[in-house]
A and B are shown apart, each in its own frame.
Chain A
Amino acid sequence: MMTIKSKTEGYPRYAPGTHVSGRDISNKNVTYSWWEPEVQYSWSLGPAYGRFLQELKKGKIIGRSCKKCERVIVPPRMFCEYCYRSTDEWIYLKDTGKVETFSISYLDPNARRIKEPILIGVISIDGASPMHGFMHYFNDMKPEDLKIGMKVKAVWKSEKERTGSITDIKYFKPMNEGDK
Chain B
Amino acid sequence: MNRVAVIGGGMTLFRRRLLETGKELSFLAAKMAMEDSGIEKKDLDMVVMGSAPDAFDGIHMKGENLLDGAAATNKPYVRLFNGGGTGVFAPIAGWWHVASGVADTVLVVCEEKMSSCFPHPQTAFQHIWDPILDRPLHPNLVWLFAMEMNRYMTMHNIKKEDIALVAVKNKRNAVGHPSAQLPDEKITVEDVLNSEIMAWPVQRLDISPPSDGASALILCSEDRAKQYTDDPIFIDGVGWNIDSTMWTNRDLYFPRYVANAAKMAYKMADIHDPKKEIDFAEPYDPFDYKELHHLEGLLLCDKGEAPILTREGVTQRDGKLPVCPSGGLLGVGNPIAATMGQKVCELYWQLSGKAGKRQIPTDPQVGVGQAWGDIMQMGTVIVMRRG
Contact = CB atoms under 8 A, between A and B. Distances in A.
Interface of A: 1, 4, 6-22, 25, 30, 35, 37, 41, 43, 45, 49, 52-53, 73, 75, 77, 81, 100-112, 117, 120-122, 131-137, 143, 148, 165-167
A11 B133 contact: no
Contacts of A75: 133, 246, 248
Given A14-B178, A75-B246, A106 B139 contact: no
Given A15-B13, A17-B213, A111-B120, A10 B349 contact: yes
Interface string B13-26: 11101111000010
A167 B199 contact: no
A110 B123 contact: yes
Given A17-B28, A19-B17, A132-B249, A8 B357 contact: yes
A125 to B, nearest CB: 10
Interface in B211-237: 212-213
Contacts of B115: 20
B143 A122 contact: no
Given A15-B13, A111-B120, A134-B248, 19 more contacts: A6-B178, A8-B178, A15-B14, A17-B12, A17-B18, A17-B25, A21-B17, A37-B58, A43-B131, A75-B133, A103-B202, A105-B146, A109-B122, A112-B120, A120-B137, A132-B248, A135-B137, A148-B154, A166-B137
B132 interface: yes
Given A12-B179, A20-B17, A111 B140 contact: yes
Interface of B: 9-15, 17-20, 25, 28, 32, 36, 58, 115, 119-120, 122-123, 126, 131-134, 136-140, 142-143, 146-148, 150-151, 154, 176-179, 196-202, 212-213, 244, 246, 248-252, 341, 345, 349, 354-359
B216 to A, nearest CB: 10
Contact of A131 (B122, B132, B250, B358): B250
A12 B151 contact: no
A94 B360 CA distance: 56
B214 to A, nearest CB: 9
A-B pairs, 9 with minimum CB distance: A10-B356, A17-B13, A103-B146, A105-B199, A111-B122, A18-B19, A15-B178, A101-B151, A104-B200
A12 B9 CA distance: 8
7 contacts: A10-B354, A101-B147, A103-B199, A105-B143, A109-B123, A132-B249, A135-B139
B150 A148 contact: yes
Contacts of B10: 12
Contacts of A4: 13
